[in-house]
Amino acid sequence: MTLGDILKESWLSVSGNKLRSFLTVLGIIIGVMAVVIMVAVGETVQQSITDQFSSLGTNTIVIRAGAARRGGVRSGNRNTLTISDAEQIQKLPDVMSITPAQSSSAQVIYGNKNWSTLMLGTHPDYTAIQDIEVEHGAFFDMTAVKNASTYAVIGPDTARELGLPDNPVGEIIRIQNMPFVIVGVMKARGDSAFGSQDDMIIIPITTLKKRLQGSPFPDSVSMIALKIYLDADNAVVTDQIAALLRQRHRLKDGDEDDFQITDMKQIMETMDTVTGYLKLLLIAIAAVSLLVGSIGIMNMMLVSVVERTREIGIRKAVGARERVIIIQFLSESVMISFIGSMFGLVFGVGLSQGVGRFILHYNVPFSIWPVILSVSVAVIVGLASGVMPAFRAAKLNPIDSLRYE
Amino acid sequence: MKTELPIINLKKINKIFPLEIGGEQQVLFDISFVVNAGEFVAIMGPSGSGKSTCMNIVGALDSATSGTYELYGKDITTMTPDELATVRNEYIGFVFQNFNLLPKRNILDNVMLPLMYRGISIDDRNRRAHEMLDLVGLEKFKSYLPPQLSGGMKQRVAIARALSGNPKLILADEPTGSLDSKMGNEILRFFKKLNNDMGITIVIITHEFEIAQYARRIIHIYDGRITYDGPVPKNENVLLKSQKEHKK
């Protein structure tokens, strides 16, 4: 019996019972489709999170003030960091650029509109660290920082909410009753893992500290953001910064850090692991439907053995050996499973790509491994589902089979 | 001088079946006979006589409990199920009462079936199957499915399938049982023609003397024992007499 004979016999048997075969194939289609879609969902989530962190830069490190413990009380928002800290950190060999920053919420007024948004006081280097590009105008320079100029660079969402003209450079807005000149509008960046990046106002840090907040400690800041060289080791630099800050803040052994260092690379790796588990969980859920589909095949094949008892008897009477009967039944179950997995794959990929592109407008990543997985699973599921029915068929007594009505 | 091997050589065959309610029942007792090449034999007997069990053993579909069975010189008594399948494929062509054709395969595929299991190439299978369908006069119906044919045509397809493997023996179990008398006679005449013209060895299992008369030798079985083995008598009384003598 050639491979062609086996395939022909299997196809004739499968196609001989169209409705039943279709329903069995449908079980596998749904199972494989679920796996493919879940893999796509998992990869999309992973990709999306990776993209968001990548937009912040994996070589970015953010140091936040606070988390100091005094007498057992944890105070997370004390401004323990200073501009001098930033200047010292900049001297570390792997640090490419650094900027202090202070954030605050602000009520912004333009004409008769007002809008509550995030205000960030910082240096011009912030643009390099956060990959900020300016759509209209320009970012303020260090002179504006030195002079505590009332210049503002605003996000596109903020500009829209305030009803500013398309190019609002030169327009005057009011923050806490102080007029600010818009010198630039940022390019839209979309949402990051920490919220919208397009709804904010950036002003010189000195303006924020001295003019708006009137702080008695104009040197203190809530955050220092820095970028390290791409070939530098994030963990090593993080340790160096921690050691330097502990020394500068005169923290004794056993004292907790009065700052928090957030390493984007480390966060991304953690998120990657988390989304990896999420993906596995989704696949496991989808695999249940594939398992149900495979039980459907086994059920169909067992019924088929009973229904075709006489046929098996005829085949044995004219010389079919047990091995041949086993191969025939196994190939039928593999064929059902294979056809189901192919359709499942096409529908799954089509649906996930179609919904992603045309409805969610997101480029769903396509990877080859669901294809390999589906085909492998189809063969394994087909074989596993067909083994018991095939052996049952092969062991039938030809005399009893020929008498079967 | 080369001597032709006997096709069937049964020696003291016994068959005992275990009963579901416990115990066992012997249905064949020391059955011995030889069928030589070119013979046309009818194994006859009433229902329950053991002729079907005998046919199953002769057809290598079942094994004897004791005794030996040589098919064309080959002892098949202790063969495995797979070895028996090969023997059936190479030496025996079956014709059954209810035709036993695969209903969802066309006539040509049905005739080619034994050749497929023998591993013969598709071209040779096709050629041989066409020859056999031509022989039984059904070449133009090759793409028909069995349910589309009459009983007589189905049985001719079964004969074509039995002949396709060029077997040493055609074993026909009540081959006219599902046919009307006209069709039945046509099939029997065809068997006779095959035996006379082509020298094919044929063994028919039947319970009707009229059918057995087409053969040249009758083996009559009653209560699991051979009561008559000889040429076809002029009337059935000879067989009934042998049966009566056995009862005594």
Q: Domain ranges in chain B?
A: 8-247
B143 touching A (Cβ < 8 Å): no
Q: Are residues A245 and A293 in the same domain?
A: no
Question: Which CATH topology does B8-247 take?
Answer: Rossmann fold (3.40.50)
Interface test with A, best of B53, B87, B105 (most A CBs within 10 A): B105
**Residue A195: per-residue pLDDT:** 63
Asked whether the beta carbons of residue A315 and residue B90 sit closer than 8 angstroms, the reply is no
B165 touches chain A (CB under 8 A): yes
Instruction: Of A116, A37, A17, A24, give the one whose Cα is nearest residue A347.
Output: A37
Chain A residues 16-45 with a CB less than 8 Å from chain B = 16
| Distance between A48 CA and the closest CA of chain B, angstroms | 54
Is B82 in the A-facing interface, judged by CB distances under 8 Å?
yes
At residue B14, φ and ψ (nearest 5 deg) are -120, 145
A310 touches chain B (CB under 8 A): yes
- The answer to the question of residue A264 being in a domain is no
Q: Which amino acid is at A15?
A: S
How far, in Å, CA of B94 to CA of B88, rounded?
9
Is there a single domain that holds both residue A155 and residue A238?
Answer: yes
Task: Examine the domain organization and report whether A40 and A96 are in the same domain.
Answer: no
Among candidate residues A235, A257, A279, the one where a domain is terminated? A257
Give A36's pLDDT tier (boundaries 50, 70, 90).
confident
Q: Would you state the structure tokens that stand for residue B164, as one six-digit string? A: 């396709």
Residue A249 shares a structural domain with residue A370: no
- Domain match, A275 and A339 both: yes
Cβ–Cβ below 8 Å for B89 and A324: no
Structure tokens at B107: 């006539």
- pLDDT below 50 — which residues of chain B? 1-2
**Both structure tokens of A286:** 């989808």
Q: How many helices (H) and strands (E) does chain B have?
A: 8, 10
The answer to the question of residue A61 being in a domain is: no
Please report the residues numbered 187 through 226 in chain B whose beta carbons come closer than 8 angstroms to any beta carbon of chain A. Answer: none
Looking at the structure, do residues A80 and A207 belong to the same domain, yes or no?
Answer: yes
The number of beta carbons lying within 10 Å of the beta carbon of residue B46 is 13
Give the pLDDT band of residue A154 (cuts 50, 70, 90).
Answer: very high
pLDDT for res A141: 92
Confidence band, pLDDT 50/70/90 cuts, at residue A397: confident
Quote the number of domains for chain A. 2
Task: Specify the DSSP class assigned to residue B5.
Answer: P
8 Å CB contact between A219 and A82: yes
Beta bridge partners of B9: B34, B70
State the residue range of the domain holding A210: 67-257
Buried b (16+ CB within 10 A) or exposed e, B50-59: bbbbbbbbbb
Average the pLDDT over A25-53 and give the result: 83
A193 pLDDT tier (thresholds 50, 70, 90): low
For residue A281, pLDDT beyond 70:
yes
A365 backbone dihedrals φ, ψ, rounded to 5°: -65, 140
Distance CA A338, CA A342 (A): 6
Indicate if the pLDDT at residue A248 is higher than 50.
yes
Return the ∠ at Cα A84 (arms to A80 and A90), rounded to 5°: 110
Nearest residue of chain B to residue A1 (CA atoms):
B119
Exposure string of B132-150, with b = 16+ CB inside 10 Å and e = fewer, is bbebbebbebbeebbeebe
Q: Indicate if the pLDDT at residue A180 is higher than 90.
A: yes
Here the ipTM equals 0.91
A319 touches chain B (CB under 8 A): yes
Chain B closest-CA separation from residue A3 CA (Å): 11
3-class DSSP state for residue B237? helix
**Boundary residue ending a domain (A209, A236, A257):** A257
Instruction: Check: pTM over 0.90? Answer yes or no.
Output: no
Question: Is there a domain that residue A60 lies in?
Answer: no
A317 touches chain B (CB under 8 A): yes
Residue A73's identity, in one-letter code, is V
Give pLDDT, residue A326: 92
Do B202 and B194 contact (CB within 8 A), yes or no? yes
Last residue of a domain, one of A225, A257, A289: A257
Per-residue confidence at A68, pLDDT binned at 50, 70, 90?
A: very low
Above 50 in pLDDT, residue A265? yes
- Mean of the pLDDT values across residues A319-338? 91
Please report which confidence band the pLDDT of residue A32 belongs to, taking 50, 70 and 90 as the band edges. Answer: confident
Find tokens 């923050």 and name the residue.
A175
